[in-house]
Amino acid sequence: MTQFPTFEVIPAVDMQDGEVVQLVQGERGTETRYGDPVEAAERWVEAGARTLHLVDLDGAFEGERANASAVEAIVDAVDVPIQLGGGIRTAADARSLLDRGVDRVILGTAAVEDPDIVAEISDRRPGSVVVSLDAKGDEVVVSGWTEGTGLDPVEAAARYEALGAGGILFTDVDVEGQLAGVRAERIDRLADAVSIPVIASGGVATLSDVRACREAGAAAVVVGTALYEGAFSLAEAMDA
């Protein structure tokens, strides 16, 4: 559990076309824009963030990382651990990002299509792979949440732990980006199934949602829309 010695609230910096955005249920065309990614990253670190969660949304949808320059600028600008997802499709991609200063790579589609990629990266860089399990209902979905896989998130999490994953990012797609509240029982099931950290994501609207994630056994929670819309401050969330 060295990644998260205590429960963390991790601000999300989701990037599309070089800007920070938040989507509703991951759907393109629903975005609200929040300006420059580097400024957002610096603001969250000044506010006390101990980790940042970066997502290249163009990469997630197109499979090509389109916001690489913004990612590099953030790596250079801040001195907290950075986890990055979106469009990382090969072990070589992942290794080059880790060499460049990203601390953890988040693999979704790539890990589902080729589970061995997790072992391939983790063997050289233990703890550096977070596998993203995005669930609609009780099924893992991939390719920007557009394709079902037939995988059960709990079974998948245990399998990736065995392959060397350093953590699981669990996103409840049904409530993502809607400020609708979290469904703690789903986090609880997953956290019970593995001993690696589970990072919860999706649906956080209130400070009680943050507390619910912690009580369900998550090691950390990623918060996007609620922070950008000022539902609560990062300091309040960390105190909660």
List the catalytic residues: 14, 134
In 3D, which of 23, 18, 54, 34 has the Cα closest to residue 145?
Answer: 23
In whole angstroms, what separates CA 233 from the centre of its chain?
Answer: 19
Q: Which helix (H) or strand (E) holds 46?
A: helix 37-46
Q: For every residue of 18-38, which 3-state class applies, written as one string?
A: CEEEECCCCCCCCCEECCCHH
CB atoms within 10 A of CB 14: 28
Q: How much is the CA Rg of the chain, to the nearest whole Å?
A: 16
User: Count of residues for the chain?
Assistant: 240
What stretches of 63-194 show up as alpha helix (H) in DSSP? 68-77, 91-100, 109-113, 116-124, 153-162, 184-193
* SS3 category, 149: coil
